[in-house]
Amino acid sequence: MPGHVLYVEDDDAVRHLYADALREAGLIVHEERFAGHALDVLTRHLPDVILLDLGMPAGLMSGIEMLVRLRDIPEWAQIPVVVFSGLSDVVNPDIMARLNVSNVLSKTSIPGDELARLIGTILQRPGGGTGKAG
């Protein structure tokens, strides 16, 4: 059964590029432009992995705020999260560890097929996906 990925990214071109690469690898991808909308999706459908950009437009929920909310809700707390952001080089590793982030990647330096392989590896780990997608 293919893994389900919730991809949260406000840049349409970047989101479409990587979402297409994930789909080509056989993953089912639900795209959301904003973190607040992604939280609404989580109330209806639990993905196996969340791919999350940290930087969102001013005045909207940031990726970090979404991570904090995710980890505060027991049903969502164990969903693996891959931070995939142009801000990855300024991310505090201690904060990411406390928020149980699986990986922190720079979206400016990873090809789509490599990202898909990483997501596949996360899904194959014991407890890697929530097991509730579908």
The total number of structural domains in the chain stands at 1
pLDDT at position 134, please?
Answer: 42
pTM over 0.85: yes
pLDDT at position 55, please?
Answer: 87
Q: Is residue 133 part of a domain?
A: no
- Cβ atoms of 70 and 79 within 8 Å: the answer is yes
Q: Is residue 86 part of a domain?
A: yes
Q: Is residue 132 part of a domain?
A: no
Q: Is residue 51 part of a domain?
A: yes
Q: Is residue 27 part of a domain?
A: yes
pLDDT at position 89, please?
Answer: 65
CATH number at residue 86: 3.40.50.2300
pLDDT at position 129, please?
Answer: 61
Q: What is the pLDDT of residues 32-53, one digit of tens each?
A: 999 999 999 999 999 999 999 9
Q: Is residue 82 part of a domain?
A: yes
Q: Is residue 130 part of a domain?
A: no
pLDDT at position 107, please?
Answer: 84
The list of the chain residues with pLDDT below 50 reads 131, 133-134
d(C-alpha 49, C-alpha 131), whole Å: 10
Domain hosting 27: range is 4-124
pLDDT at position 12, please?
Answer: 95
